[in-house]
Structure 1
Amino acid sequence: MKKSLIALAVIAVSGTAFAQSSVTIYGKADIGVARSIGSDVNELKQAAGSRVGFRGTEDLGGGLKANFTYEHRFLPDTGAVANTSSFFTGRSIVGLEGGFGRIDMGRDYSAAFWTALAGDVFGYDGVAANGGVAGAGYQTVRFDNVISYKSPTMGGLTLEASSALKEAGAKNGSAIRVSYASGPIAASIATEKGLAGQKYNGFGASYNLGVASVRALISKGESATGVESDGMLLGLVVPMGALQLKASYATLEVAGKDTVQQMGLGARYALSKRTDVYTSYANNSKSTAAKKNGIEFGVQHNF
């Protein structure tokens, strides 16, 4: 009887320990037929970055948690590694989270990237994406060897900061972002110094009208040699049940010359909670290529 009670106690304690930690396998598989701006060839390619990731957390007690994320990116049309120099090219971080906020270390997104991303209704994905405009041509998506901090949200305000360390002679990069969200309103402002000495500043805002949401972003960049750029991005998202319609317009001026005037239209239909079909069309009237239009149709599954 005593042995049985001891065994039950051990199981109970073990159950508690398991309940305090978790590991999640997640991912995205995206593939479709696309013809990019500047190309006259139809290709089998992804719009969003296909990936397999591992994410975990452990409750250390006293409000403190340990977190990790490792994310591998791949090309679904060939199965090849998306970035041959990095296997976990998406994110590769370990950190701590508590009442002080969250600190992560490894390979992670620049704090300023989240402002640029919020401005693009296509989320940097596909032929209609305006990521280059959102980042004014100079915003760094990810930093290696970075220490990232995200504060608790207070009164709708959140502070994020990134600092990439100098290693093997590399220059350091840094970024700061302040964001605000309350009800239908969201806004953020960010500044960044890139690894090559380039600079980025962005301000964006969005408003959810219920029947639709509108977004706007103004960005400014400067190369390490002093070449300036100015970007402007407007977006609209209209949800209609399982159907979502998107539209955007973006301009980018580099060294006083218009290099992008792009219009994007798209539609996404949810076949289930995890699987969508999508199509999008884009036209960049300032493209120097003979083919100024792009179009795609694909399917995306999330797990």
Structure 2
Amino acid sequence: MQFLPTTCGALLLAALLPCAQAQSTVTVSGTIDIGVYKDAGKHWNVGPISRSHLKFSGSEDLGSGLSATFALSHRFNSDDGSTESASKPFWHGEATVGLKGAFGSLQLGRRLDVISNNDWAFDPWYNFDRLASPAWDLWHYNFPSDPKGNGGSAEYGRLNNGIFYDSPSFNGLTLHLSGSPEERTGDTDKALSAGVQYKGAGFGAFVAHGKNSAGHTDTFIGLNTRVAGIGLMGAYDVSKAGASKAKATTLGASYGIGATTLQAGWGQVDVDGSKAEKMVSVGASHALSKRTSVYGDLAHKTYPGDSATVYGVGINHSF
């Protein structure tokens, strides 16, 4: 008597499961980057020149054009397999859940703030290369996105306890917002950033302004275009922390020749009227496949009373 309903229930569940599974997706992705390089301290290193990470992300179709989303991203050191830093959380890269639909996307948790989530398009190395990227060295000098975001220490890029909104595109224009309603012990403000981006045929622009929980501010302007196959880009960033004011200017170019991409960059940052750093850099990346590339970087960096030439070669695999 109990067998039939149980069997029918099991058969019904088995019939429904494929349908439910087809409406959900989970993706495992990431990047493993490692190279041999000489740093500004004139030391040789075997380790990541860019960043390495492992990411789990997915979505569930809720119907009527609405989807639930999630993302978990762990950052690690490819040279020894350790977590990127002991002070950073395990899911350093991202830990969000949210909704996506015709209204755009809304996420809650830890993620890149408005500025850092969009500024990469205005640097030849996508703000992702510790040797050659002017953006890596010079942008957001006085602006940790979350002054206590890594176990009490400063985080440059991400925001804890955040709310993030990205609008759909309106004729190439998108609106981006990020902030947190929380005030922790010692905070003087609530984090809030806003930006507008334009992506058109052969031209892009991004303007953003942000304030962190310590009251520091950052204003970013970026432009990019393509002329005769050459990608040209520039950015201007002003970050303020109390009485200190840092102004960073960067220029960059990229050019593709078959599977090889050539890069060049220049930039400087002035802090309180004095040059804190100036740099010029070149690089080349060669794609061995859609997922694997080898590359080389060279940069000369000038500091007050000192200078350094950094260089290295590496391999990067994405999956």
TM bin (shorter chain): over 0.9
Structure 1 pair 99/286, CA: closer, same or farther in 2 (3 Å)? same
What is the distance in 1 between the residues matched to 2:294 and 2:305? 31
Q: Which amino acid aligns with 1:62?
A: S
Alpha-carbon distance change, 139 to 84 in structure 1, aligned in 2, over 3 angstroms? closer
Distance 1:135 1:123 in 2: 15
Does the alignment pair 1:199 with 2:217? yes
Amino acid at match of 1:211: G
Helix, strand or coil at the partner of 1:113: helix
Which amino acid in the other structure matches residue 77 of structure 2?
Answer: L
- In structure 2, the CA distance between the partners of 1:58 and 1:69, relative to structure 1 (3 Å rule), is same
Aligned-pair Cα RMSD in Å: 2.2
What residue in structure 1 maps to residue 35 of structure 2? Answer: 32
Q: Aligned equivalents of 1:66 and 1:210: distance in 2?
A: 42
**In 2, distance between residues paired with 1:26 and 1:115?**
20
Structure 2: how far apart are the matches of 1:108 and 1:6?
A: 42
| 1:167-246 pair list within 5 angstroms | 167-169=183-185, 171=187, 172-209=190-227, 211-223=229-241, 225-246=242-263
Which amino acid is 1:154 matched to? Answer: F
Match of residue 69 from structure 1: 71
Alignment partner of 1:134 is 2:139: yes
Does the 8 Å contact 1:133/1:231 carry over to 2?
Answer: yes
Once the two structures are superposed, the pairs formed by residues 12-23 of structure 1 within 5 Å of their partners are 13-23=16-26
Q: How far did residue 288 of structure 1 move?
A: 4.1
Does the CA contact (< 8 Å) of 1:265 and 1:282 recur in 2? yes
1:139, distance to aligned residue in structure 2 (A) = 5.3
Deviations 1:26-63 (A, max 9, x none): 111100111112x1211011012111110010000011
Greater mean deviation of Cα atoms: 9-18 or 24-33 = 9-18
* 3-state SS of paired residue (1:126): coil
Instruction: Give, in angstroms, the shift of residue 116 of structure 1.
Output: 3.2
Hey, what's the Cα distance between the residues in 2 that align with 1:133 and 1:115?
Answer: 16
The CA distance in 1 between the partners of 2:71 and 2:317, in whole Å, is 20
How many Å separate the matches in 1 of 2:65 and 2:186? 36
Question: Retained in 2: the 8 A contact 1:115–1:202?
Answer: no
The answer (yes or no) to whether the contact 1:112–1:139 under 8 Å persists in 2 is no
For the residue of structure 2 that corresponds to 1:17, the secondary structure is helix
Normalising by structure 1, we get a TM-score of 0.92
User: Does 2:259 match 1:256?
Assistant: no
Count residues with an aligned counterpart: 299
Question: Once the 2 structures are TM-superposed, how far is the Cα of residue 213 of structure 1 from its aligned partner?
Answer: 0.6
1:183-227 Cα shifts (integer Å, max 9, x gaps): 11110100011232211001111002352110011111111x221
Residue 9 of structure 1: how far off its partner (Å): 7.3
Q: Which AA in structure 1 matches 2:313?
A: F
- Maintained 8 Å contact 2:280/2:301: yes
2:96 to 90, 93, 96: 93
Change (3 A) 1:173 1:284: same
Q: Deviations over 1:52-91 (max 9, x none)?
A: 1100100000111000000011111121111324000000
Distance 2:93 2:278 in 1: 29
Residue in structure 2 matched with residue 285 of structure 1 by the alignment:
302
Amino acid in the other structure paired with 2:161: N
Gaps of 5+ in 1: none
In structure 2, the gaps of 5 or more residues are 1-7, 146-156
112-121 or 255-264, larger mean C-alpha shift = 112-121
| 8 Å CA contact 1:93, 1:107 repeated in 2 | yes
Partner of residue 144, structure 1: 160
Measured in 1, the distance between the counterparts of 2:209 and 2:144 equals 9
User: Matched residue of 2:138: which SS?
Assistant: helix
1:132–1:200 Cα change, 3 Å: farther
Q: Distance in 1 between matches of 2:125 and 2:75?
A: 19
Q: Is the 8 A contact 2:204 2:223 kept in 1?
A: yes
The match for 1:123 among 126, 129, 133 is 126
